[in-house]
Structure 1
Amino acid sequence: MTGRLLHDKSLQTDTRVRILNVLALAALKDDVILLLHQDRREHVLMNYAHDIDRLSPQEQEALALFICNLFENLSSSEWLLYISEWQYCNSTISNIRVSTKVAVNSLLADNTTLQDRGSAIMHNLACKEVFDDVAVELTMAVLQYFNSSPPEEQLFRCMKALARFCQISPQDVPQLIQMIGPEPGKFRGVSARVDELIDVVSSKLR
């Protein structure tokens, strides 16, 4: 049923948004993992999420909220990090690859709601044990986002994520920061808690 609602293009966008909003509420419950495990074969949810860049803005916002809320519980947050691969539209994808794509697409969208939710997903991913290549990809998105003027809350989340990525990939991430920029110090003075994180990130740079 969920698959039909999400993938049937003959249905109104509002229908898909509503089911995503229901899923976002369900994601706050600790037994949502039972629903997620039912999708192990068909990968309906993650196939849909993989197409985030092709969805309407309303669907993107609702999808980002759903993914963000899945971090509420340990079991569902770990589900987002699964590395088992499958084929979808001539691409090899996995839960972690889709989670990464949703985070990047949301953070870099021209939409403040998506940016807010993307920064939350970015922060939540950084709190997990992700692989070096994921940390590098997420770092590149954060640095691109830093070329804008993020609100303090989003800046804090992303700077905290950047500090964590420096720990996960202590060679590649600091090099990226120095090569791509901007310098973390650009944001010094925004708030005391951001300044503390800037000090942490700057200490990793050579």
Structure 2
Amino acid sequence: MFAVLFASRPWNRNAPMRVSDRVDGLVRLVAAAAVLCAVPLSGVFGVAEYRSATARMHAESAGKAEVPAVLTDTPKLVPVPPAMSSDTVPNRYRATAHWVYDGHAGETTIEVSRTARRGDQVPVWLGPDGRPTRAPVDRSAADQAIGAGLAVLVGTTGAAGVIVVATRWMLGRRRAGTAADRSTDRAGRAMTGPAAVCSATAGR
């Protein structure tokens, strides 16, 4: 690949190159440079996303506590909305959970598994105010950082590839049109040449 890029460099004076070839070579060199620059850039974005995700996770988890709760009734099937088909929507069950934490009792309705029974112990997350809240994000900061870095790298590589392909396609169409025009001119000269000779002979 690098040998091809070096041979097609726009400033190459040793090889006869058309203007379109030089444009094609320049676009490929710029695309290759963009991809190479995207490698460290994706690392920078990954580190930034890692720090941001870590800060968000710490802020979200601050003051939250996981407490054991007991189901106080039999789980009930959640009705499927009329606009949705019961064949495509999985069954969901909900039940009332009761807990005692830091000297205060509380209860709420939570979603449980199909096999849950009354009296089962389930975890419930409480916020700083003692009210039920969602559990901390399970996805790690490292996963988010890797995803951000890959998004930058894949996006840059894909955009560079599209630009190279589009440029080569447009240059190919331009070359084909120029070749067709030249062929038409040669055919026209071949057809008008004998007629011109005959006209000149008749004039004599």
Report the TM-score, using the length of structure 1 for normalisation: 0.15
Write 1 or 2 for the structure with the bigger share of strand.
2
Structure with larger RCO (C-alpha < 8 A, sep 6+): 2
Q: Which protein shows a greater Rg?
A: 2
